């Protein structure tokens, strides 16, 4: 049973400056909900209710978001405005929230390693909340949990990306197991387009077995001088097997301005329900 989910949220969000100078990127709203809340709801819907955040300096707003705001609660109690809080109250009731800090931004791999204590010794989910996903039927993490039950190894979500954009992703090579499911044979972080082993790009959803921590512990900094999760997963793919899964649904890159605007428009039309 997987019941923990890690949210690495320590990054600087430089592409959103100046908005992210003193506010975490993960608190930027898509219509009326911060990005990170969409991710947490996806985890809870998949049965992952032990939520761990790897934060950094300037990210306190995330912890405050998943805590009671007594003054506000007191002010609006019994008024018509109370209903606006019901959705975040529901999230807080369903999950347990823990926090730790990444002292230096040394990359996603280092952020995951920092979360080791929070995740313990069982397999766990990882959600990068700036990749906003709307699953087809069930949420993307719920789809992946189902696949984990079948394969019992690390699972990574992938999406077909054509053209030059492939250079922004980790990219896999894999043997097809069945439609949408591949056994990973190679992985490259942010390859030049001509070196990309396929058009199958890794997106911000993972289920990782705890063996990843050992590998991350000795993985040297890779692309951009950062400890890359992709490099550690490549090692796991050789030793224990890693499954890549073409998820069913939509993904928006809310770490970029264009993706954020697209997500906002999509969510306003298709997801947002006026309270």
Instruction: Select from 2-10, 70-78, 236-244, 263-271 the region that touches ligand UTP (CB under 6 A).
Output: 2-10
CB 243 within 8 Å of CB 175: no
Select from 13-21, 44-52, 183-191, 243-251 the region that touches ligand UTP (CB under 6 A).
13-21
Residue 105 Cβ, how far from ligand UTP at the closest point, in Å? 4
Helix (H, G, I), strand (E, B) or coil at 133: strand
Shortest reach from residue 186's CB to ligand UTP, in Å = 22
The size of the interface with ligand UTP (CB under 6 A), counted in residues, is 20
Count Cβ atoms below 10 Å from residue 185 Cβ, excluding itself: 15
First to last CA, the chain: 34
Nearest to 200 by CA among 210, 191, 209: 191
Residue 15 sits in the site that holds ligand UTP (CB under 6 A)? yes
Using CB under 6 A, which of 102, 154, 209, 219 touches ligand UTP?
102
In degrees and rounded to multiples of 5, residue 92 shows phi and psi of -65, -35
DSSP 161-173: --SGGGGGSEEEE
Q: Which is nearer to ligand UTP, 15 or 183 (CB)?
A: 15
* Residue whose C-beta lies closest to ligand UTP: 11
- Dist. CA 243–CA 212, nearest whole Å: 14
Q: Please report whether residue 127 would count as binding ligand UTP according to CB under 6 A.
A: no
- Number of C-alpha atoms within 13 angstroms, CB side, residue 108? 23
Map residues 19-58 to x or -, x wherever contact with ligand UTP holds by CB under 6 A.
Answer: ------x----------------------------x----
Closest to 26 (Cα-Cα) out of 59, 67, 69: 59
3-state DSSP assignment of residue 30: strand
Question: CA nearest 97: which of 186, 36, 20?
Answer: 36
| Of residues 204-263, those binding ligand UTP (CB under 6 A) | 255
Q: How far is the CB of 253 from ligand UTP (least distance, A)?
A: 9
Which range touches ligand UTP (CB under 6 A), out of 11-19, 38-46, 173-181, 212-220?
Answer: 11-19
Q: Is 13 in the site for ligand UTP (CB under 6 A)?
A: yes
Residues that bind ligand UTP (CB under 6 A): 8-15, 25, 54, 102, 105-108, 110-111, 128, 130, 255
């Amino acid at each position: 049973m997987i019941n923990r989910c890690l949210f690495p949220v320590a990054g600087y969000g430089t592409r959103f400056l100046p908005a992210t100078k003193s506010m975490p990127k993960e608190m930027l709203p898509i219509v009326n909900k911060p990005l990170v809340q969409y991710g947490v709801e996806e985890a809870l819907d998949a049965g992952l209710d032990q939520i761990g955040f790897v934060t950094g300096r300037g990210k306190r707003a995330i912890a405050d978001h998943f805590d009671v705001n007594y003054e506000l609660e007191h002010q609006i109690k019994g008024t018509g405005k109370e209903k606006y809080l019901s959705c975040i109250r529901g999230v807080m009731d369903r999950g347990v929230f823990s926090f730790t800090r990444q002292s230096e931004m040394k990359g996603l791999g280092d952020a995951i390693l920092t979360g080791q204590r929070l995740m313990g010794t069982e397999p766990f989910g990882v959600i990068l909340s700036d990749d906003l996903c709307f699953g087809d039927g069930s949420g993307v993490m719920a789809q992946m949990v189902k696949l984990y039950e079948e394969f019992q190894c690390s699972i990574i979500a992938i999406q077909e990306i054509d053209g030059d954009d492939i250079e922004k992703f980790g990219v896999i090579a894999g043997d097809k197991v069945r439609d949408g499911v591949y056994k990973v044979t190679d992985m490259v972080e942010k390859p030049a387009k001509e070196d990309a082993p396929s058009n199958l790009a890794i997106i911000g959803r993972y289920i990782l077995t705890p063996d990843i921590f050992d590998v991350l512990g000795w993985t040297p900094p890779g692309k951009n001088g950062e400890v890359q999760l992709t490099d550690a997963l490549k090692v796991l793919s050789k030793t224990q097997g890693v499954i890549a899964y073409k998820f069913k649904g939509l993904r928006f890159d809310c770490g970029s301005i264009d993706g954020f605007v697209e997500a906002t428009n999509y969510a306003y039309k298709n997801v947002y329900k006026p309270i």
